[in-house]
């Protein structure tokens, strides 16, 4: 970590004046013999090493800055994030501040634009689009009425008419939506509706 | 032959230098000096950001005296004592040899 500046200078002087290990040792021992020399040596060594450490830390920091890691270490100021991502600790809210109360999940049917409870959406869509064995009758009937009315009236009225004609299963779809769910009456209304419808159309 | 050369050569040769350096680094890190100096370097670097004419050597010369004064007295005393005993030990060993 510390730069070896002092080491390299030592090597340079050693190259200039070739010295044996014994000479170095004797040199040092002579220096250290008196307490004053020892103090001086200790102080010098301490000072050098501290300076080396400082230079090391400085260069480390300098490197961090040059590689843009200093700003990365600082991190981004999160004033906005503070308010946006603050964890909410209200009793009836979740951590995002949204109510934990169960909200009705309704889907809009793409075919008849009606709100249908999510759990009932698939059965509804099946019926509404005229698939499956039970509803194929209704679907074919609806198709028949659509063809019949489209010949006589404009396209908008055709849509209305077909909506009315499909009212039989739409009626029970209203029952299926999450607000009011009556299973028994649905069965009745479906039967009644289909009977009624049969009477009307045929 | 100056004091610095003699000490440098001998300590590097005997391996005391790295020993003392390790000790010093550990002590300075323990007492938080390292973090203080890092902060100091950081501030100086951020101050001189726009100035391209300043060299690293100049900045180091600026930091060094401040960093020296930041070393706690107790740590400094302890380190000087340790260095002295290590140097003295070596002398004793060499004499006995």
Span A109-130, pLDDT tens digits: 888 888 888 888 888 888 888 7
Interchain CB distance below 8 Å, A45 and B60: no
When divided into structural domains, chain A yields a total of 2
Residue A116 DSSP one-character state: E
**Average pLDDT for residues B11-19, to the nearest whole number?**
83
Query: Residue A194 — very low, low, confident or very high, per pLDDT cuts 50/70/90?
Result: very low
> What's the pLDDT score for residue A45?
86
Residues A133, A70 share a domain: no
pLDDT of res. A118: 84
DSSP H or E run through B75? helix B73-96
Structural domain count, chain B = 1
Query: Does residue A201 have a pLDDT over 60?
Result: no
Containing structural domain, residue B84:
3-96
Q: Is A64 inside a domain boundary?
A: yes
Whether A135 is in a domain gets the answer yes
pTM of the model: 0.51
Of A6, A46, A35, the closest CA to residue B83 belongs to: A46
The verdict on A113 and A186 lying in the same domain is: yes
Looking up tokens 């040899």, which residue turns up? B97
Per-residue pLDDT at A180: 46
Task: Give the percent of chain A with pLDDT over 70.
Answer: 50
**Cβ neighbours for A4, distance < 8 A, ≥ 6 positions apart:** none
- Phi and psi at A95, nearest 5°, equal -65, -15
Task: Mark whether A52 and A129 lie in a shared domain.
Answer: no
Of A74, A90, A125, the domain-final residue? A74
Tell whether A86 is covered by a domain: no
Chain B nearest C-alpha distance from A100 (Å): 46
User: How many A/B residue pairs have CB atoms within 8 Å?
Assistant: 124
Q: Is residue A189 a contact partner of residue A172, using CB atoms and an 8 Å limit?
A: yes
A48-94 pLDDT, tens digit each: 889 889 989 888 888 888 888 877 777 666 666 666 677 777 777 77
DSSP conformation class of A86:
P
In a domain, A17, yes or no: yes
User: Which residue does chain B place closest to A39, by CA atoms?
Assistant: B84
Classify residue B71 by its DSSP letter. Answer: S
Residue scoring higher pLDDT (A131 or B74): B74
Number of H helices, E strands in chain B: 5, 0
Mark out the alpha helices in chain A (DSSP H runs): 5-16, 21-33, 35-66, 69-74, 79-84, 118-128, 135-152, 155-165, 167-176, 183-201
> How much is the pLDDT for A110?
85
In this structure, are A48 and A135 located in the same domain?
A: no
Residue A134 confidence (pLDDT) above 50: yes
Chain B residues in contact with chain A using a Cβ-Cβ cutoff of 8 Å: 1, 3-13, 17, 20-21, 24-25, 28, 34, 37-38, 41-42, 45-46, 49, 56, 59-60, 63-64, 67-68, 71, 76, 79-80, 83-84, 87-88, 91, 94-95
Q: Using an 8 Å CB-CB cutoff, list chain A residues near B4.
A: 6, 44, 48
The answer on A110 and A56 residing in a single domain is no
Lowest-pLDDT choice from A43-52, A108-117, A134-143, B7-16: A134-143
Sort out which chain A residues have CB atoms less than 8 A from B49's CB and list them.
65
Closest CA to B79 of B24, B2, B3, B1: B24
Judge whether A180 lies within some domain.
yes
Judge if A60 and A9 occupy the same domain.
yes
Taking the Cβ of residue A19 and every Cβ of chain B, the question of whether any pair is shorter than 8 Å is answered with yes
Residues A69, A127 within the same domain: no
Enclosing domain of residue A179: 106-201
> Do the chains contact at A27 and B9, CB–CB below 8 Å?
yes
Query: How many residues in chain A?
Result: 202
Q: Given this model, what pLDDT does residue A79 score?
A: 63
The residue from A15, A50, A74 where one domain ends is: A74
A11 and B CB contact within 8 Å:
no
């Amino acid at each position: 970590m510390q730069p070896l500046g002092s080491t390299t200078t030592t090597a340079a002087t050693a190259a200039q004046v070739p010295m044996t290990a014994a000479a170095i040792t004797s040199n040092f021992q002579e220096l250290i013999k008196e307490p004053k020399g020892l103090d001086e040596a200790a102080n010098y060594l301490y000072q050098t090493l501290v300076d080396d450490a400082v230079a090391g830390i400085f260069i480390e920091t300098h490197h961090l800055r040059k590689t843009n890691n200093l700003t990365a270490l600082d991190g981004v100021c999160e004033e906005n994030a503070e308010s946006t991502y603050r964890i909410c600790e209200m009793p009836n809210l979740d951590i995002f501040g949204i109510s934990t109360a169960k909200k009705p999940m309704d889907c809009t049917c793409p075919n008849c634009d009606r709100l249908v409870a999510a759990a009932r959406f698939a059965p509804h869509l099946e019926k509404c689009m005229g698939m499956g064995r039970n509803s194929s009758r209704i679907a074919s009937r609806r198709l028949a009425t659509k063809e019949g009315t489209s010949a006589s009236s404009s396209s908008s009225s055709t849509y209305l008419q077909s909506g009315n004609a499909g009212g039989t299963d739409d009626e029970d779809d209203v029952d299926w939506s999450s607000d009011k769910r009556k299973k028994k009456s649905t069965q009745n209304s479906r039967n009644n509706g289909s009977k009624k419808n049969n009477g009307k159309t045929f | 032959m100056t004091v610095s050369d003699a000490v440098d050569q001998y300590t590097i040769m005997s391996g005391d230098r790295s020993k003392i350096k390790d000790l010093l680094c550990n002590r300075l890190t323990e007492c938080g000096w390292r973090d203080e100096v890092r902060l100091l370097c950081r501030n100086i670097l951020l101050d001189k950001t726009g100035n391209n004419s300043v060299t690293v050597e100049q900045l180091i010369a600026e930091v060094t005296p401040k960093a020296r004064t930041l070393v706690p007295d107790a740590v400094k005393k302890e380190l000087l004592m340790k260095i002295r005993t290590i140097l003295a030990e070596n002398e004793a060993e060499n004499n006995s040899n």
